């Protein structure tokens, strides 16, 4: 009888802990903000470029930067029909033909100087790219773990804080016209008796990234709403 | 320390080759002058870079910083000046000195690498380099002397214990060299002694 009860309890524990592993940060727990410092003017059929550059955001890892670019691209494609998001390759080929991204310094202080040059101005106009979205962010946190000796049980986990942002530049003059940000925290914990991992937690990366995409859509959506009025 | 040593061993052998690039946009306004450039032997042969980890442990890595710097500075001077001529001394005589407005001599004052962890998943490498530049007249008179530094940060999602992560370390130093070259080209006209020399030649 006792053995059966223990078996049932263990089975329930495994099911509950497995379910806990599926938890993600609810959208409401991701804090977002956005700011528009100048009116946007984005017409039907126009284009925006979304880039990650370690020059613009040195603290951002390449993998996180590329993730944010994907999130914004997906969000704009789904949320702002009629506006095309051009890839980094397309942007550099159109604006800086013959140069690699490493040969171009794209930072807040260099963008106005770059777009002020007549030949570059003409190439950007020809490509119909009106805005440039630059991403930046960091995942901060710490992990821990250890063995609960003498029992053969390994415990561990991590705490994370994801912070992501997007800055919108108007390529007609190079100035910042808006920005959006999203951040969230999460943690995970696991126990591995006899090296069988059980546990779960909340990973803030994906929901924060998705929320950042939504913020960029809202920034651009403001322009579309005005155009349609 | 053990893995830092492993990293450094990975970089041993003939030494790690660096391929930094020069920033071409925004481009500097080219000066209508011909400059001579002289690289001392210690610049070309510079290849010992201290690598420090988060605990302060340190080991030297063999990285071909000198060879990369010569190519980088040649490219940077090519953006700044109408013509660049390589010379074997700072006081070139005869035809070697014909048409030269001045001779510039670069030196590598320091190069360093720092590796560590950031966040939960990422590791980072931070590279730095400092160059010293001296501008000489054709007769060997010192016209200007200044330093230029560059820093580069590269991160990766894999452990620095992995061999593949030497690429992150190398990239951080390549970015540092690129940054230094940018600071050199963008700040050249702002060095007071250089500005005075250009003014004397009627160059804006």
Look at B7 and B97; give whichever has higher pLDDT: B97
Look at residue B33 and tell me whether its pLDDT is greater than 90.
yes
How far does the CA of residue B157 sit from the closest CA of chain A (Å)?
7
pLDDT at A20 over 70: no
For the cut 60, the answer to whether the pLDDT of residue B160 exceeds it is: no
| Residue to substitute from A52, A55, A57, A58, interface B, most B β-carbons within 10 A | A58
B67-126 pLDDT, tens digit per residue, is 999 999 999 999 999 999 999 999 887 776 788 999 999 999 999 999 987 766 678 899
pLDDT digits (tens, 9 = 90+) for A26-80: 555 899 999 988 878 777 788 999 999 999 998 888 889 999 999 999 999 999 8
Which residues form the domain of A53? 2-228
Q: What CATH number is given to the structural domain containing A133?
A: 3.40.50
Of A80, A21, A61, which Cα lies nearest the Cα of A215? Answer: A80
A contacts of B182 (beta carbons < 8 Å):
105
**Which chain B residue shows the shortest CA-CA distance from A160?**
B120
**CA-based nearest residue in chain B for residue A97:** B25
Structure-model confidence comparison of residues A167 and A82, the more confident one: A167
Question: Residues 137 to 196 of B: which have CB under 8 A from any A CB?
Answer: 153-157, 175, 178, 182
Please check whether residue B37 is in contact with residue B184, taking contact to mean a CB–CB distance below 8 angstroms. no
Question: Distance (Å) from the C-alpha of residue A131 to the closest C-alpha of chain B?
Answer: 19
Q: Percentage of chain A surpassing pLDDT 70?
A: 84
Query: A103 vs B23: CB contact, 8 Å cut-off?
Result: yes
Nearest chain B residue to A139 by CA distance is B119
Per residue in B120-141, pLDDT tens?
667 889 999 999 999 999 889 9
Residues of chain A contacting B21 with CB distance shorter than 8 Å: 100, 102-103
pLDDT on residue B1: 47
Contact A140 B154 (CB under 8 A): no
More confident residue, B165 or A128: A128
- Give the SS3 label for residue B204: coil
List the domains of chain B with CATH numbers.
2-14+32-200 (3.30.160.150)
59-98 in chain B: CB under 8 A from chain A: none
Q: Do A100 and B21 touch (CB under 8 A)?
A: yes
Chain A, chain B: beta-carbon pairs less than 8 Å apart:
53
Q: What token pair was written down for B76? A: 């940077």
Q: How many domains does chain A have?
A: 1
Chain A residues whose CB is inside 8 A of the B26 CB are 105, 110, 113-114, 117
**CB of A105 less than 8 A from some CB of B:** yes
């Amino acid at each position: 009888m006792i053995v059966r009860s223990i078996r049932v309890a263990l089975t329930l524990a495994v099911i509950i802990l497995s379910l806990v592993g599926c938890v993600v940060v609810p959208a409401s727990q991701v804090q977002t903000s956005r700011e528009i410092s100048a009116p946007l003017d984005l017409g039907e059929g126009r284009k925006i470029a979304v880039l990650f550059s370690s020059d613009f955001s040195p603290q951002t890892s390449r993998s996180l930067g590329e993730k944010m670019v994907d999130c914004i691209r997906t969000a704009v494609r789904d949320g702002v029909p009629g506006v095309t998001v051009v890839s980094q390759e397309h942007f550099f080929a159109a604006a800086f033909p013959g140069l690699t991204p490493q040969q171009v310094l794209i930072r807040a202080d260099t963008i106005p100087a770059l777009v002020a040059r007549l030949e570059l101005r003409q190439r950007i106009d020809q490509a119909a790219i009106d805005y440039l979205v630059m991403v930046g962010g960091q995942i901060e946190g710490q992990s821990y773990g250890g063995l609960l000796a003498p029992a053969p049980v390994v415990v561990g986990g991590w705490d994370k804080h994801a912070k992501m942002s997007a800055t919108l530049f108007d390529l007609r003059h190079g100035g910042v016209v808006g920005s959006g940000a999203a951040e969230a925290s999460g943690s995970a914990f696991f126990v591995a008796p006899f090296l069988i991992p059980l546990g779960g937690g909340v990973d803030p990366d994906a929901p924060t990234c998705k929320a950042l995409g939504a913020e960029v859509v809202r920034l651009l959506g403001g322009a579309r709403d005005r155009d349609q009025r | 320390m053990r893995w830092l040593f492993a990293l450094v061993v990975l970089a041993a052998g003939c030494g790690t080759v660096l391929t930094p690039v020069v920033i071409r946009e925004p481009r500097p306004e080219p000066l209508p002058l011909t400059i001579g450039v002289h690289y001392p032997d210690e610049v070309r042969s510079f290849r010992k870079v201290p690598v420090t980890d988060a605990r302060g442990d340190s080991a030297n890595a063999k990285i071909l910083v000198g060879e990369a710097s010569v190519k980088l500075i040649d490219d940077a001077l090519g953006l700044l000046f109408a013509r660049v001529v390589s010379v074997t001394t700072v006081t070139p005589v005869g035809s070697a000195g014909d048409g030269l407005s001045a001779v510039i001599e670069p030196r590598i004052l320091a190069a360093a690498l720092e590796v560590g962890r950031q966040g939960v998943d990422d590791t980072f490498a931070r590279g730095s380099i400092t160059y010293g530049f001296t501008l000489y007249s054709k007769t060997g008179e010192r016209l200007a002397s200044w330093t230029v530094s560059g820093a580069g940060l590269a991160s990766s999602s894999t452990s620095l214990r992995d061999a593949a992560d030497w690429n992150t370390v190398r990239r951080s130093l390549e970015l540092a060299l690129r940054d230094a070259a940018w600071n050199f080209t963008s700040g050249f006209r702002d060095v007071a002694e250089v500005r005075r020399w250009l003014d004397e030649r009627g160059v804006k």
